[in-house]
Amino acid sequence: MHTIGSGDEVPTESARALVVASGRECSACGKTLTDRQRGACSGKCRAKLSRQRHAEALQTEVRGLGRALELLRARHDALAERVDRMTERSRPRSKF
Ligand SMILES: [Zn+2]
């Protein structure tokens, strides 16, 4: 152990390196976590992270559905246009 005030203090960089090496800080607020804490420093931060994960999952689903809708709409438009052309051509135009 170093004696405090001996002029041989642990450099801040080393202390920081140790914190980084332990590699754990709250994913929500960035606070350094103790050994017993995992992922988040408090229930509040844990709830926030859980909400974020949930939101991300929903966002992924929304994006996927959006793409599916685009494909369906494109298919729908193409088919509707084809039907329009076919019915226009075959539609009797005797009545004005
Ligand atoms: Zn936190």
Alpha-carbon 21 to chain mean position: 26
Using the structure block, give the residue that is written with the tokens 């041989």: 8
Alpha carbons 4 and 44: distance in angstroms, whole number: 36
Q: What is the pLDDT of residues 19-63, one digit of tens each?
A: 444 568 999 999 999 888 888 999 999 999 999 999 999 999 999
Structure tokens at 12: 């801040």
State the distance from the centre of ligand 1 to the C-alpha of 42, rounded, in angstroms. Answer: 6
State the distance from the centre of ligand 1 to the C-alpha of 36, rounded, in angstroms. Answer: 14
State the distance from the centre of ligand 1 to the C-alpha of 91, rounded, in angstroms. Answer: 69
State the distance from the centre of ligand 1 to the C-alpha of 15, rounded, in angstroms. Answer: 21
Q: What is the pLDDT of residues 55-87, one digit of tens each?
A: 999 999 999 999 999 999 999 999 999 999 998
State the distance from the centre of ligand 1 to the C-alpha of 47, rounded, in angstroms. Answer: 10
Q: Where are the domains of the chain?
A: 24-90
Region at 53 (left for phi over 0; alpha for psi -120 to 50; beta for the rest): alpha
